Chains A and B, each alone.
Chain A
Amino acid sequence: MSDGKGATGPGEPEPSQDRGGPRRWVLILLAVAVLTGGATLVATASSGASAEDEVAATAKGSDEEPPTTPQPEQAAPAPSTAGPTTAAPAFGPEVGTHSAQLDDLHTRGGPSPVAIRIGDIQVDAPVSPAGVVTDGSEELEVPSQADAVVWYEFGPSPGAAGSAVVAGHVDYDGAEGVFFHLADVQPGALVSIDYDDGAQRQFQVTGSRKVAKVALPTDEIFTRDGPPQLNIITCGGEFDSSAESYRDNVVVEAVPVAS
């Protein structure tokens, strides 16, 4: 059981070669925290403390209060044996159910964006849906046209919960792209989106950042949870001419304007 390992870990290293002091214990705690699962963290923290106390005791420090925390070796097995047998059923008559008909399995997303306007940088362009490149790179599928703007169709629609992503080229094959001036957009700028159901919605830019492509936080940028956000993305920063690629992405963030 990993609990036991996590508990005994800090006590095992011989404190002979380097007394190290507090920093050493912090490092050990950190190492243990990384190596063991999160569930053992609390136990590890308290066992780390008791291990520290044991060291203090063997060093003839005044062992003030007797340890009141139970040994993790005793504490850990208790819930795992007691849990399944004593816990009440986790569901009752109020359990939610829903239709299992094939047509009802999936909710459909909101309307798709079909056009984007950013007045401050003279952008007025159609938007088309895009998925991922299926050649193995699994990148966002941005067409080979300087003026193409795409919306990641598997993510949220702009204005729905989570982060909608709209992307376009900064340049392509020697021509300036539709988002050539995207990095100049300032907080407060307005972005307008048209949808395929005829609706239109305004967004306001809250910030802009340049992120190294190798560190692009894709989980966050493409998240499907949380407050509605529109991420408008292009390339920027240094250009690697051998790879014909920019080193950074420019990410402009906008939120819906309350209507």
Chain B
Amino acid sequence: MRTRLVIGATAAILAVVAWAGTPSSAQSAPLTPETGSVTVVHGLRGQLVDIYLDDELALKGFQPERVTDPLEIPAGEHRVALRPAGAPAAENPMAATVVTVTPGANMSLIAHLDTNGSTTVTAYRNDVSPLAPGKARLVARNTAEVPAIKLVISDGPAPTLEPEAEFAADVDPATYRVAVDDPAGGTIVPPDDVRAPEGSATIMYLIGSEPDDSLIWIGQSIADLQAPPTAVPTGNSGLAATPATRSGPLGVLGDVAPLAALLGLAIGVVMVRRHRLT
């Protein structure tokens, strides 16, 4: 009987979930996740590295200028350490940090040279909020052995980026020309083309070393941040209008979730009522 009651209650609740999920599948994550999504970016030029997570070898022989697939990491604090590929786990790491992963977070961890030329690991929190319809997100991060830089984006803004700082903007989808200037004048990195497609975040990292003349851009992308157009306006004259007495012949395709909700509700009521009767 208790089982039946639980099933009934669960059915009713699932019904509400089905109902609540109807308006927008894009926001279908009311579940409180126990993990965060972490992407590891290798911004140390010319070095194979091993990545350790909580003292365990997690990624072996990571090639430079590559990124991992997004990794689901349990929420909490994690030790991240970097060693040259094949170095013993007991060896002092080239760089280490503690990263706090919060539930549902989207983070990037990049191994890179800091402004002083030391190897370091920096964690960034990525903005994965939905874009407006028809928009793209463009992000640039200063993760190189270079002082503050001036970022020059096509004909747009030219923000100054301190070491480890980022610039982010929601923009029209397009290919942008991005150059790096010295805030005092002069070009440090000639323009590169970067495509920022609709619905995605395009995240650029300046890596390498200005003294070594090895500065380049690498990047990662995060897709599925799009929103659909709000409406489809396809008529303005009334030539095809039906009389106002139409009986709405709504198709069933959009109504499956509400029907499931009603069904679940009915099952829940019946089961709870049956429980009362027995």
**Which residues of A come within 8 Å of B, CB atoms?**
2, 21-23, 25-26, 29-30, 33-34, 37-42, 44-46, 48-49, 52-53, 64-65, 79-80, 83-85, 87-93, 95-102, 105-106, 131-132, 134, 137-140, 142, 152, 154-155, 165, 167-177, 179-180, 183, 207-213, 215-224, 233-239, 241, 244-246, 249, 251, 253
B228 lies within 8 A of chain A by Cβ: yes
| Cα separation A180 to B69 with both chains bound (whole Å) | 47
Residue of A nearest to B69 (CB): A96
| Cα separation A137 to B65 with both chains bound (whole Å) | 40
| Cα separation A64 to B268 with both chains bound (whole Å) | 22
Q: A99-B66, A174-B239, A209-B251 are in contact. Are A140 and B12 (CB under 8 A)?
A: no
- The 9 lowest CB-CB distance pairs between A and B, nearest first, are A84-B76, A209-B251, A235-B235, A239-B241, A239-B238, A222-B228, A132-B134, A100-B218, A39-B32
B184 lies within 8 A of chain A by Cβ: no
Return A165 CB to nearest CB of chain B, in Å.
8
User: Which residues on the B side are within 8 Å of A209 (C-beta)?
Assistant: 249-251, 253-254
Contact with A along B241-274 (1 / 0, CB 8 A): 1111010111101100000000001001100110
User: Which residues on the B side are within 8 Å of A134 (C-beta)?
Assistant: 134, 172
Contact B232 A142 (CB under 8 A): yes
- For chain B residues 62-84, which have a beta carbon within 8 Å of chain A? 62-63, 65-69, 71-78
Residue of A nearest to B6 (CB): A49
**Which residues of B come within 8 Å of A, CB atoms?**
1-2, 5-6, 9-10, 12-14, 16-17, 20, 23-26, 30-35, 41-42, 53-54, 56-60, 62-63, 65-69, 71-78, 101, 132-134, 172-173, 192-195, 197-200, 202, 204-205, 217-221, 223-224, 226-244, 246, 248-251, 253-254, 265, 268-269, 272-273, 275-276
Contact B250 A211 (CB under 8 A): yes
Name 26 interchain pairs, CB-CB below 8 A, sorted by A.
A23-B273, A26-B268, A29-B13, A30-B16, A30-B265, A37-B31, A41-B17, A49-B6, A84-B77, A85-B76, A91-B58, A100-B65, A102-B217, A131-B173, A139-B230, A139-B231, A139-B233, A171-B235, A171-B238, A173-B236, A175-B237, A209-B253, A211-B254, A218-B228, A237-B242, A238-B244
